[in-house]
Amino acid sequence: MQSEPSAELRHRTVDVPAGRLHLVEQGTGPLVLLVHGFPESWYSWRHQLPALATAGYRAVAIDVRGYGRSSKPAATDAYRMLHLVEDNVAVVRALGEDFAVVVGHDWGSNIATASALLHPEIFRAVALLSVPYAPPGGPRPTDIFGRIGGPEQEFYVSYFQQPGRAEAEIEPDVRGWLAGFYAALSADTMPAQGEPDPHFVAHGGRLRDRFPAGTLPAWLTENDLDVYAGEFERTGMTGALNRYRNMDRDWEDLAPHRGAAIRQPSLFIGGTLDASTTWMSDAIDAYPATLPALSASHLLDGCGHWIQQERPDEVNGLLTDWLTTIEDRTGRGSGVAGVGSTGRGLVFPV
């Protein structure tokens, strides 16, 4: 049975360890928590909120700490993964729920998997968009990224990790930079093979020098760009960029979980033209070991990085179909992960 979504999105703030966290919700039923990536906001889930609500779920999209209307602590280490996971826990509790399905895109995918790994008693299923799951461990991240670029260019992660450097490039023209960054990773506007790769910056140059100019991707309207740009023009970029500046801290914090599998029901959706899926193809190949309860792994042909915005209908269908597969329509089973106002529960292995 499906429920009708509310006519309007509901905005609210809730208390979290950092202060406040802004969220937008629609619908009633079992809780589905949506976590965005860089450089976005709750708005990146604008197509999923009504679809999930119509399917009978309480869909909640957050502004991650440092973004939008959520709190922006001054300390760089306030953005380490452990804190972002605790924000997610606090949101679930503030909404009066005991359990949630967590869905993440880009950095939100990493936040979602860390939430599921550290709090399986709360996050009873996890869906990953664009960025595959790779268990904690391996060499120190900064050492890896420092070797990727080579003598003539620098990997974008290393560029973002230096405090103030990316801000100096982006903040004088937030709207123009965002337009170029979104276009650089979108299927219909990304640079052609053989052109300079926008994931790298020449030593002494700017990342935006690698962006395509003048054309917005088909999924991004001028109004959409206004929404994103307006948020970052108001807040600045430091809170968002601080996620990159905590990767070594995350590596240390998550060391006790080195090599750990996520055993809750899971789903992966990526794009065939997204560097995240091609560079991390080994992580996808390892899913039988790292995501043993994986329902399905989908690669959308000809899709870029902004998957839930580039291909909203396909992503919505895959998400709602997956949620149905983990739903107990009979009320029987073990490991019930929450019952919403529709009277339905979500069942998971214990």
Q: Which residues are catalytic?
A: 106, 305
Angle between helices 81-94 and 107-118 (to 10 degrees): 70
The alpha-helical segments, DSSP class H, found in the chain are 48-54, 81-94, 107-118, 141-148, 156-161, 165-170, 174-184, 222-235, 238-241, 247-253, 275-279, 281-285, 287-290, 307-310, 312-325
Our measurement of the distance from residue 258's CA atom to the centroid of its chain's CA atoms, rounded to an integer in Å, reads 22
Task: Report the distance separating Cα 285 and Cα 176, nearest Å.
Answer: 37
CA distance 210 to 237: 20
Residue 74: Cβ within 10 Å count: 8
DSSP, res 5 = P
Which residues have C-beta within 8 Å of that of residue 173, sequence separation ≥ 6?
Answer: none
Q: Residue 58 pairs with which residues in a beta bridge?
A: 31
Q: Is the peptide bond before 39 cis (omega within 30 degrees of 0)?
A: yes
Q: SS3 sequence, 243-289?
A: CHHHHHHHHHHCHHHCCCCCCCCEEEEEECCCHHHHHCHHHHHCHHH
C-alpha–C-alpha distance, residues 63 and 163, integer Å: 22
**In the block, residue with structure tokens 């919700």:** 25
Residue 189: how many CB atoms within 10 A of its CB? 22
Helices (H) and strands (E) in the chain, counts: 15, 13
> What's the CA gap between 205 and 283, in Å, rounded?
32
Provide the CB-side half-sphere exposure for 201 (13 A, CA): 19
Handedness of CA 107, 109, 111, 113 (dihedral sign): negative
Per DSSP, what are the bridge partners of residue 129? 105, 269
